[in-house]
Amino acid sequence: MASLFTKILKGEIPGEIVHEDELCFALKDIDPKAPVHLLIIPKKEIQSIAHSEKEDQATLGHLFLVAKKLAHGLGLDSEGYRLVTNIGENGGQSVPHLHVHLLGGRPMG
């Protein structure tokens, strides 16, 4: 069964996609925790970092390079920003499809 994020990518449910390339896509979080709150998501359904494999190495690195590019495009470089990924229920993961949160636009305490 496709994850929530895959359904958004396929247009089956709404979501505001702000970036897409061959390996990943990024969308605005529906419950933002900062003025800028994007999710960078691999197109391959990897449950979490804990479930990643050696063959996912290029995709994992790509997610962080895309986060850097998006942060730069939003002018977050000078003030700073936060990248977070949650692993498992106790780690705060609510969707079982790896995603990196890009948060910025205010001081992160």
Catalytic residue check, 99: yes
Q: How far apart are the first and last CA of the chain?
A: 37
Closest listed residue to residue 56, CA positions, set 75, 43, 69, 68: 43
Active-site entry in 37, 51, 62, 99: 99
Q: Which two tokens stand for residue 49?
A: 């970092």
Q: Are the CB atoms for 52 and 60 separated by under 8 Å?
A: yes
Distances (CA, A) of 32 to 54, 55, 59: 32, 31, 25
The residues annotated with a catalytic role in the active site are: 99
